[in-house]
Copies of this chain bind each other. A is one copy, B any other.
Amino acid sequence: MARPKGDAAATAARREAILDAALQVFAVAGFNGSSLKQVAEIVGITEAGILHHFKNKGTLLLEVLKRREELGRPVVKTGQSNGIQEVLEWIAIQKENSTLPGIIELFTILSAEATAANHPAHDYFRERYNKVTRNFTGMFELLKQANFLATDESPEDLGASLVALSDGLQLQWLLNPEVDMPKLHIQFFRTVLNDAGWAALQARLG
């Protein structure tokens, strides 16, 4: 019943199907709470069939995470900006995320589970957390230089608070999908920006 050997397109499609199924499964119950069998059943092959495409369960998880990261936009980049552009991009990501429950589930559940030092995605989430925090800090540095901040909190603290707010809202949203994540993010910026900053943001929010 083996499929054509050199059919690169078909092989890639099968790999994608496995990654899709794994995302679905890991997102619901995390890594420890899921089995290869659940993934295999969705795809319609055997557990061993999955391990033909992926070395083991742990690397399957890492590839699921990696693929979704590539799909996401480059989180927030520090450039020659007053920071407003980066704020808008982040709010846009929030809006997009609200339409993709599976991805939020995946990252929220796994970032908590991966707190354990021996978790296969532990290093991945440490790096991700550092990267996001650095990006946010850079964003608030830009806003500060543009004199857009209403608070004298440090960019580091503001960055940490925004990461916390995002993570926490996602967790809430899993229990109660009525939580309006983009709205609460905007309200956060409203309390943190001064009149000039808020005006600059509003002008581009439409």
Contact = CB atoms under 8 A, between A and B. Distances in A.
Given A115-B109, A168-B166, A150 B28 contact: no
Binding site of A, secondary structure by majority: helix, strand, loop or mixed? helix
Interface stretch (A53-61, A66-74, A182-190): A182-190
A41 to B, nearest CB: 17
A107 to B, nearest CB: 10
Contacts of A108: 112, 115
A116 B113 CA distance: 13
A1 to B, nearest CB: 34
B116 A175 contact: no
A129 B172 contact: yes
B188 A161 contact: yes
